[in-house]
């Protein structure tokens, strides 16, 4: 689906640029192939000769009106005008200190290593995953989804004289207090209401606890796997201090009791869910992990 969408985005560029030119707008679309989650994704750079900074727009921002050329161009014009008002502010604030104080962590599958290297993206390895570094710039860009960030490349570290170790240490510090742990059953009860045999359910919940863990924005929340504070707090919710951690997507994880199921059964379940339920670009891994003696390892 991602490949088909990329082709559709590329084929649409000339048509949209023709309409942009007819309207006398002071920007044009340049298609770019950027690394996103689990592969490359085509985006539209809104390029202007008057600016060195340009927003990149993806299909997700336009999916509700994608079939209408007029509505797509109207939206791109709106984003372009908003970005112009923020460029100067970004240039004034953006600095080495800003990067180090705002950088956070994003986890992707190690299957992306070729794409990551091809795009010169800064990374570290962790178990069967890759650690990438993202800088939140939402305060400067008003996207409908409420989140805007860019992925750190090696050339950025070089330009600001930042080492891989330094960006890693600061990113770890920046996520320490950025997490939330929600009881899975309480979450479900809020959606569908409490069951008739609530007392029995409560007893089972205490014996086999289950929690959702993510970050405050619920975006790239699987990074909590690297959050020492979150894992320690989570361990206190299990009688043995041990738990199994299931990355349900790049955005969140589920923690369950070690006694809940056998490793091979959980992995089979995760694989099936990833194949049938999770969007292709949000799949993290088919593996599950165990937290034991203060460390996380593949289960």
* pLDDT > 80? residue 82: no
**Which residue is listed with tokens 């593949």?**
298
Predicted confidence band of residue 200 (pLDDT cuts 50, 70, 90) = very low
- The three-state DSSP-derived secondary structure of the chain is CHHHHHHHHHHHHHHHHHHHHHCCCCCEEEEEEEEECCEEEEEEEEECCCCCCCCEECHHHHHHHCCCHHHHHHHHHHHHHHHHHHHHHHHHHCCHHHHHHHEEEEEEEHHHHHHHHHCCECEEEECCEEEEEEEECCCCCCCCCCCCEEECEHHHHHHCCCCHHHHHHHHHHHHCCCCEEEEHHHHHHHHHCCCCCHHHHHHHHHHCCEEEEECCCCCCHHHHHHCHHHHHHHHCCCCCCCEEEEECCCCCEEEECCCCCCHHHHHHHHHHHHHHCCCHHHCCCCCCEEEECCEEEEC
Lookup: tokens for 262: 């056998």
CA nearest to 254, candidates 217, 212, 299: 212
Residue pair 265/249 in contact (Cβ under 8 Å)? The answer is no
pLDDT digits (tens, 9 = 90+) for 129-156: 999 999 877 666 554 555 567 889 999 9
Lookup: tokens for 11: 């084929």
* pLDDT > 70? residue 159: yes
Which pTM value belongs to this model? 0.74
Q: Kindly list the domain boundaries of the chain, sorted by start residue.
A: 2-93, 96-175, 180-298
Residue pair 152/163 in contact (Cβ under 8 Å)? The answer is no
pLDDT digits (tens, 9 = 90+) for 103-127: 999 999 898 899 899 889 999 999 9
């Amino acid at each position: 689906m991602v490949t088909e969408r990329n082709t559709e985005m590329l084929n649409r560029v000339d048509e949209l640029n023709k309409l942009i030119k007819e309207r006398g707008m002071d920007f044009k679309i340049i298609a770019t192939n950027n690394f996103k989650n689990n592969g490359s994704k085509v985006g539209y750079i809104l390029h202007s000769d008057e600016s060195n900074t340009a927003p990149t727009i993806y299909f997700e921002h336009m999916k509700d009106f994608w079939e209408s050329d007029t509505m797509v161009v109207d939206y791109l014009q709106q984003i372009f005008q908003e970005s112009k008002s923020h460029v100067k502010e970004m240039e004034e604030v953006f600095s080495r200190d800003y990067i180090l104080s705002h950088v956070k962590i994003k986890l992707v599958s190690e299957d992306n290593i070729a794409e990551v290297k091809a795009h010169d993206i800064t990374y570290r390895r962790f178990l069967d995953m890759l650690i990438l570094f993202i800088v939140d710039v939402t305060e400067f860009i008003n996207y409908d989804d409420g989140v805007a960030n860019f992925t750190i490349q090696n050339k950025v570290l070089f330009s600001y004289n930042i080492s891989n170790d330094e960006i890693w240490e600061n990113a770890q510090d920046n996520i320490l207090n950025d997490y939330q742990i929600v009881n899975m059953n309480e979450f479900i009860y809020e959606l569908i209401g409490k069951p008739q045999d609530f007392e029995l359910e409560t007893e089972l919940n205490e014996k086999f606890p289950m929690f959702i863990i993510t970050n405050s924005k619920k975006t790239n929340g699987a990074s909590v796997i690297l959050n020492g504070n979150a894992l320690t707090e989570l361990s206190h919710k299990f009688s043995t201090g041990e738990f199994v951690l299931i990355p349900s997507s790049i955005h969140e994880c589920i923690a369950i009791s070690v006694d809940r199921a056998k490793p091979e059964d959980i992995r089979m379940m995760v694989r099936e869910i990833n194949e049938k339920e999770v969007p292709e670009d949000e799949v993290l891994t088919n593996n599950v992990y165990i937290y034991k003696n203060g460390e996380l390892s593949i289960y």
